[in-house]
Structure 1
């Protein structure tokens, strides 16, 4: 007969954990973090000195940067080794690693998340290109955080002449999960949780390793009361269930419960107040100018969090899909100790599936933090002296997004700025330089990105740099800023001095910028750029909506007015990303395309990240006996 009641106390649950066990746990900051079980485990160790020498395996850092989450387990003797994706919110564990009290590794969050699936299938490990050229690469340390961590968890493999990293599987003895509701059979649902995370994969990894699964919930249901489609972790994978007190089962460490985080209702967005005009908002505004209309975007923790607020203020939320790495699609990703959750998400998927999407090139743009950068464009966000912040999902995201924006103040430690009337003034300079001779640790490899043709910007409150094959180039300077005094004198290297332009003065005004009109309704003339010396015409149709025949004729006239005076044909590069062509004018549009191509182009490359638009363009070009090649990116079009 099956055991019909798996509900036990937290003390009874942790009593089965043995010395030396490898414990895998869910949690993303405070979302999905099983604090009742961590508390009971700490209590057992402090009272009995058992269990000892545990291992910890976690993707994101389940912690608040102080005492909660895995910080509760940071006791000498309790933990022997830890493998984690993010460390900044578990500083007590980080301190133990810095002091050589525990063996410690930092691997990419997404790779650990995906590794749980490999373990669950009893496969030897995970094969990925994520981490090459960074501190995770075995040739640059293999993710080891200290001298006593000698075991190699990552190795380089070559397959068909291409390098890959192999992340070794780690057997899981105990899985500690969190859900919302459990029935006596141990079936777990997650209807009030802000994230799904990797709960199912971790439970399966433990079972494949002949391990034990403990699940924390906030409420109990009668037998067979949970609808089958709501069950995230089946009861056959769960050994015991712990009913947690409310103080150990908050939805996030900042919010006890918000139904808009779990998709149980939607809240009005127009009541969210705009951000004050400071360096954070200036940077977020400049980052928002890069948002791809119709595209998918990831926003990282810290400075990039403000981009979502700016997008709402500028009426752009309907034009882009914002995402967060633990599995959020749509809505407004939250910051602080709410990070990982989102207001009004359109979908919440498993964390490992989100990283499959990211690693597969699903991101049109990623906006991430920047603690240090050097002349080659390398970025460090993971280690500063003996402080381990960890990479989190940073490496997965930066190596696979089509375009990147790194966001951060130009200096750190006491920086104060004054903005208004379209100008910026540095009221007090920061104490620490961020643009240094060499970053302390390579979390992002600029040379590899440049070689791959990835578009990368480095946005600060006073200037913007762009990655080039020769390194960082200064491309924009804020009005009111002296380049020599306020920029170059405060860098450890001299950037490539391209011809820079002023940053948009709207960034430094209190009123909204009108970004929706700027990005969606740009004048047609601003969408065309002619490089006469190279005989190249660039046409940016990003977000352009073709509704009327007059718009079609306007494009034809614009091409004619720019090319006819040259007296020769040019090569055209046309960006169709986010372009909308109404069916009623499609025939007219593509007839115009054939006409201008025959008259003015010797060659044309068209590209869009939309698979539907690529197919549509290809079909229409083929019908008109034109080359049907439509590429996914400008880099692909130029390479092919």
Structure 2
């Protein structure tokens, strides 16, 4: 039976009360915003479907759009019964969804992106859940904490993480309800229902979501949002991302509900339909001056570590860049003209190119390849990539890292735990203090005019998303980079202060702004003065004997 093509709400008539719904989306990339709005409109008119449980591979929202728009309406309705709960890896770009969770109005479970993406693939293969070491000794480990993000979730336990032992080694087993309906997105479908994502900025997890929904024992339905319908046979088989037997409904979306990112409706460079022929063409969207200068210092310092790795290996290296300041490293790589020897990947799938930030994070300009999210996370969990840089919200005396969660702030973990748990070299990058601050970069050094009021190096982090103990046990090399100080994790999972910026007083500007006293290296170094200059560092010259 060929998929039925719909341009109205009838495609969603088979969604029933109490169903588990899978929805694709990494911010606005692969987010079926039109289908989300249609489903909620149907509920507003009829009261059905209700008590839905949503599972997403990341987060189908940016502020004010898609799931965040729906969450805003639900938050205003104290009697809402549209949404029962969700498994949502990241909440950072949905302030209204966070409010629903923080107020204990809905269940919410915070598995990492890579775990959830893998879980879809495991369910598609007929297995009961996902078995992995990722999450041991973190808040995902039921012996330490709970992946449930509020009390309602702990009470209902719709999603569970269990401890299993194999050959005397501990593993985590992740279980969640199988989806009965899926809302996914692509660019176009032909008249048979074959689906292509050729105009999308990422490939996401859409195929695995469709397969998981279709898998036995309960064969579900899949609705796919597209912009265009093509004649049968006109899509090259190599461009078919989801074959028609896996799709039940094709829904044509108006253009305003089908943006590539949170701020870009369509740019062919994001979908690699056009690859920029010069760096100048990237400047229309990648502006290195959008960084505060002290943030650029941090991005540059991590870049130097990547360069050291190239010198050690004597070949190109493959790296991952996380959200926040790590995403700016892509701009430094672009400015230094070293993208051909320092190849970056983003958790959402792009290889190379220049990473976007903010609401557009997850996409890259002129990448040379696009993997699915599950395939990209294999590179992380398997330790295939050489190194990664990730952000942090808190670091404690044991080297544990909390990237995103506080009692009044539930951004979720995103891809962080899988990347940090699998890659052999991690360079955590972030400002030394939090909150509003004025930090000047002058005279080849740092001057703290007004420091941030929030302490980020604390006695114990609020939630452990990265375990210093596990990292030391597994022999990972860990560095913590800020604008004024650089620390390393030693073999006993303690921090060592190894480097400070010119102009910084260790006691006044570093140690007094921490809630614990780290070890201090007997050979403490001063940061490279090139980090603080207005001109590029010209670090390609460091590699002239290799490339």
Name the TM tier (shorter chain): over 0.9
3-state SS in 1 of match to 2:91: coil
User: Deviations for 1:252-299, whole angstroms, at most 9, x for unmatched residues?
Assistant: 111111111111111122453543661111110101111133111000
Whether 2:181 is the aligned partner of 1:174: answer yes
User: Deviations for 1:194-243, whole angstroms, at most 9, x for unmatched residues?
Assistant: 11111111111111131110000011112222222211111111111110
Whether 2:504 is the aligned partner of 1:481: answer yes
Whether 2:463 is the aligned partner of 1:441: answer yes
CA distance in 1, matches of 2:152, 2:476: 37
Matched residue, 1:494: 517
3-state SS in 2 of match to 1:165: strand
Whether 2:271 is the aligned partner of 1:262: answer yes
Matched residue, 1:57: 55
Matched residue, 1:118: 122
CA distance in 2, matches of 1:350, 1:254: 22
Structure 2 counterpart of 1:163, from 167, 170, 174: 170
User: Deviations for 1:349-404, whole angstroms, at most 9, x for unmatched residues?
Assistant: 11111111211111211101011011111110131113211111100000111101
Residues 38 and 72, structure 1, Cα contact 8 Å, conserved in 2: no
CA distance in 1, matches of 2:236, 2:360: 29
Residues 420 and 510, structure 1, Cα contact 8 Å, conserved in 2: no
Matched residue, 1:286: 301
Whether 2:318 is the aligned partner of 1:296: answer yes
* Matched ranges for 1:44-83 at <5 A: 44-64=42-62, 66-74=63-71, 75=74, 76-83=80-87
Residues 472 and 495, structure 1, Cα contact 8 Å, conserved in 2: yes
Structure 2 counterpart of 1:249, from 242, 258, 264: 258
Structure 2 counterpart of 1:397, from 406, 409, 419: 419
Residues 97 and 146, structure 1, Cα contact 8 Å, conserved in 2: yes
Q: TM-score, normalised by structure 2?
A: 0.92
CA distance in 1, matches of 2:104, 2:176: 24
Matched residue, 2:135: 131
CA distance in 2, matches of 1:15, 1:277: 50
Residues 42 and 72, structure 1, Cα contact 8 Å, conserved in 2: no
Bigger CA radius of gyration: 1
3-state SS in 2 of match to 1:498: strand
3-state SS in 2 of match to 1:122: coil
Superposed displacement of residue 247, structure 1: 0.4
Q: How many residues matched? A: 520
Matched residue, 2:32: 34
3-state SS in 2 of match to 1:47: helix
Whether 2:321 is the aligned partner of 1:333: answer no
Whether 2:344 is the aligned partner of 1:322: answer yes
Whether 2:441 is the aligned partner of 1:419: answer yes
Matched residue, 2:77: none
Matched residue, 2:313: none
User: Deviations for 1:519-542, whole angstroms, at most 9, x for unmatched residues?
Assistant: x14xxxxxxxxxxxxxxxxxxxxx
User: Deviations for 1:40-85, whole angstroms, at most 9, x for unmatched residues?
Assistant: 1121222222111000101211111x22122233223111011111
Larger deviation, residues 369-378 vs 146-155: 146-155
CA distance in 1, matches of 2:491, 2:70: 46
Structure 2 counterpart of 1:103, from 104, 107, 113: 107
Whether 2:191 is the aligned partner of 1:191: answer no
Whether 2:405 is the aligned partner of 1:383: answer yes
CA distance in 2, matches of 1:266, 1:230: 18
CA distance in 1, matches of 2:244, 2:147: 35
Matched residue, 1:21: 19
CA distance change for structure 1 residues 303 and 10 in 2, over 3 Å: closer, same or farther? farther
Q: TM-score, normalised by structure 1?
A: 0.79
Matched residue, 1:364: 386
CA distance in 1, matches of 2:436, 2:288: 24
3-state SS in 2 of match to 1:40: helix
Matched residue, 1:89: 93
3-state SS in 1 of match to 2:521: coil
Residues 133 and 140, structure 1, Cα contact 8 Å, conserved in 2: yes
Matched residue, 1:223: 232
CA distance in 2, matches of 1:211, 1:478: 57
Structure 2 counterpart of 1:203, from 176, 196, 210: 210
CA distance in 2, matches of 1:41, 1:256: 22
Residues 349 and 371, structure 2, Cα contact 8 Å, conserved in 1: yes
CA distance in 2, matches of 1:277, 1:78: 42
RCO comparison, higher one (Cα < 8 Å, 6+): 2
Residues 25 and 58, structure 1, Cα contact 8 Å, conserved in 2: yes
CA distance in 1, matches of 2:146, 2:509: 38
CA distance change for structure 1 residues 403 and 10 in 2, over 3 Å: closer, same or farther? farther
Residues 277 and 419, structure 1, Cα contact 8 Å, conserved in 2: no
Matched residue, 2:150: 146
Could you tell me which runs of 5 or more consecutive residues in structure 1 were left unpaired when the two chains were aligned.
Answer: 522-543, 546-579, 581-640
Residues 363 and 400, structure 1, Cα contact 8 Å, conserved in 2: no
Residues 323 and 390, structure 2, Cα contact 8 Å, conserved in 1: yes
3-state SS in 2 of match to 1:72: helix
User: Deviations for 1:117-169, whole angstroms, at most 9, x for unmatched residues?
Assistant: 11112111111111111101111233011112232511011111111111125
Residues 126 and 169, structure 1, Cα contact 8 Å, conserved in 2: no
Structure 2 counterpart of 1:373, from 395, 398, 404: 395
Superposed displacement of residue 32, structure 1: 0.9
